[in-house]
Each structure stands twice: as structure tokens, then as C-alpha cells.
């Protein structure tokens, strides 16, 4: 089962990206994680789309299409999605072959503050829902006080590791259940 990870944060020291990478070792057997890059996508512009897809847009569309499921980790920026994440979603959303159609998705968020970026998740559910992606309803994972969960750059907080393990364990049967017969 191929899982594509997308982090909504572009910064090198991103906690969301670091936690996303740590998910590779917390996944149940039979799941593998590869992480997409979205920092080289141009800002979505229908004129560019119509003139011929830029390589990074082709790449992310192909990666989402090929994945059995997409795992999104994102901080909350001003109570919602980061522009980078929304841009990636938009590039993959335009027909033909709307890439989010019937795609199983799991999400989590991490922030420096105590709420764990809760609000970004509800906006993500709204956006992906109208694209006919199937977002795992529960468990919800909000990782507050992000920087305190790491020791020497490694995700060491046991409670956080357990929340993520449960999320990924729930994602596997969700993907099987949502699989569309072709």
C-alpha cells in the first residue's frame, strides 16, 4: 500500500515535515511512505495550466494518482491552510482526471501553540470533501507544543507516537474500505 506524504510547511526545520517523516516507522506492515515536494510548484494559474502542465505539477498529479492513500501533515496559518498546501491541492484538482477523486486521505496537524492547529483540519476536510476525497474521520490527531515533542531532532514523545500509530493503523482499513472497484 503506497502512501504519499505531503507537508504543508516548506521550511527546513518544519515540525510537521519531521513528524511526517517519523510516520514511516510507525506505519503498520504493508504500508510504505514516500514524501512529495511541493515547494517548486508555481502559483496556480489557469493560463499556465492551459498552456501545458509545468513539470512539478505533472509530478504531484502523478504521485497523488498513483498513491493508495495520501497522508497530509500541516501547520495552521492564520486559522487555515498554508498557501503552499492549498496551491498543491489546487494543482491536483483540475480536470481532466481530478486527482483527489475517491482518494483516501488522512490528516494531522502540529503547531507551536497548544491547540495543535485544529482549525486547519476542518478547512482541509471541507476542501477535500468537495473534491470527493475520503478523509479518515477519526482518530483526529492535533499535536500542540510541537517543539517539545522532539529530542535531538527525533520524535520522542511517546503519547504523540501512540496517537500517530493509531491514526496510521486506522488509515489502512479505511483505504481498503474506500477502494473503488474498477
Ligand X SMILES: Cc1cc2nc3c(=O)[nH]c(=O)nc-3n(C[C@H](O)[C@H](O)[C@H](O)COP(=O)(O)O)c2cc1C
Alpha helices in 35-178 (DSSP H): 46-51, 55-66, 83-93, 118-130, 158-178
Query: To which residue does cell 482541509 refer?
Result: 124
Under the criterion CB under 6 A, does residue 150 sit at the interface with ligand X? no
Q: Which residue has the cell 510541537?
A: 146
Residue with cell 493508495: 68
Query: Is 8 in contact with 80 (CB distance < 8 Å)?
Result: no
- Please tell me whether residue 5 binds ligand X under the rule CB under 6 A: no
Rule CB under 6 A: is residue 68 a binding residue for ligand X? no
Question: What does the per-residue mask of binding to ligand X show for 94-133, with x meaning CB under 6 A?
Answer: ----------------xxxx-x-x----------------
Closest separation in Å from C-beta 117 to ligand X: 5
**Residue (163 or 174) nearer to ligand X, CB:** 163
Fill in the DSSP letter of residue 44.
P
CB atoms within 10 A of CB 58: 12
CB 19 → ligand X: shortest distance, Å?
Answer: 8
**Burial status of residue 158 (CB atoms within 10 A of its CB: 0-12, 13-18, 19 or more):** exposed
Min. distance of Cβ 16 from ligand X in angstroms? 3
Could you say whether residue 11 binds ligand X (CB under 6 A)? yes
Residues that bind ligand X (CB under 6 A): 9, 11, 14-16, 75-79, 110-113, 115, 117, 146
Amino acid at each position: 500500500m503506497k502512501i504519499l506524504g505531503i507537508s504543508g510547511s516548506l521550511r527546513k526545520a518544519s515540525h510537521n515535515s519531521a513528524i511526517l517523516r517519523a510516520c514511516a516507522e510507525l506505519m503498520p506492515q504493508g504500508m510504505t511512505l514516500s514524501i512529495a515536494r511541493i515547494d517548486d510548484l508555481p502559483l496556480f494559474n489557469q493560463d499556465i495550466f492551459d498552456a501545458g502542465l509545468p513539470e512539478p505539477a505533472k509530478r504531484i498529479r502523478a504521485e497523488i494518482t498513483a498513491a493508495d492513500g495520501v497522508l497530509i501533515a500541516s501547520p495552521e496559518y492564520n486559522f487555515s491552510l498554508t498557501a503552499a498546501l492549498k496551491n498543491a491541492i489546487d494543482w491536483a484538482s483540475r480536470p481532466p482526471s481530478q486527482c483527489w477523486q475517491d482518494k483516501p486521505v488522512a490528516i494531522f496537524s502540529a503547531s507551536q501553540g497548544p491547540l495543535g492547529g485544529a482549525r486547519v483540519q476542518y478547512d482541509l476536510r471541507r476542501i477535500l470533501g468537495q473534491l470527493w476525497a475520503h478523509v479518515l474521520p477519526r482518530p483526529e490527531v492535533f499535536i500542540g507544543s510541537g517543539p517539545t515533542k522532539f529530542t535531538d531532532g527525533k520524535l520522542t514523545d511517546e503519547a504523540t507516537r501512540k496517537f500517530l500509530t493509531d491514526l496510521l493503523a486506522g488509515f489502512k482499513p479505511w483505504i481498503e474500505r474506500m477502494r473503488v472497484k474498477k
